Structure 1
Amino acid sequence: MTGLAILDVARDGIVTFLKVAGPLMVVALVIGLVVSLLQALTQIQEQTLIYVPKIVAVFAALLLMLPFMGDALAGYMTRIAARIVAGN
């Protein structure tokens, strides 16, 4: 395996990782910002208040995006398997 092929596999892995994890991270970021804004506006400074909405939102997003995530991971595995078979 050449250095270029290794870089190609690594790049493909990073892109796949971003496709799979990115949407969940964005959901967690948005919910965190909204709850923080509400805490600042209402003067409620409870530190544990942010966790429940964030967990529920990330879990709901995970359920909605699971088919897309599975397809992205299956596509990555197919490309890796094709490289193994090709001997590259």
Structure 2
Amino acid sequence: MNEADALDMVQNAIWTVMVASGPAVGAAMVVGLVVALIQALTQVQEMTLTFVPKIVAVMVAVAISAPFIGSQISIFTNVVFSRIQTGF
């Protein structure tokens, strides 16, 4: 394994993490913006109000996108194993 192979594997790993965590992060971001907007409009500045909706949204997003996340991790695992099998 040379530097280019190692860099390619790290790049694939980082891309897989970004794609797999995208739905959960996106859901948390959207819910956070909506709750912040509601807090700004109603002037209710309770700090703990943002946590429960975000946790629920992240759990729902992960539950809905679980097959997609699993397939992305499976694709990455297959790439890693095939590269190990061929000897890089």
TM-score (norm 2): 0.97
**Map 1:1-88 → 2, pairs under 5 A:** 1-88=1-88
Distance in 1 between the 2:7 and 2:41 partners?
48
Structure 1 letter corresponding to 2:78 = T
State the superposition RMSD in angstroms: 0.6
- Distance in 2 between residues matched to 1:22 and 1:7, nearest whole Å: 22
> Runs of 4 or more off by more than 6 Å in structure 1?
none
Percentage of pairs with the same residue: 42
Q: Which letter maps to 1:39?
A: Q
C-alpha separation in 2, matches of 1:32 and 1:54: 7
What is the rounded CA distance, in whole Å, between the counterparts of 2:85 and 2:58 in structure 1? 37
Secondary structure of the 2:45 match is coil
In the alignment, the residues of structure 1 paired with residue 44 and residue 67 of structure 2 have an alpha-carbon distance, to the nearest angstrom, of: 38
Q: Helix, strand or coil for the counterpart of 1:75?
A: helix
Aligned length in residues: 88
Give the Cα separation in 2 of the matches to 1:6 and 1:62.
Answer: 30
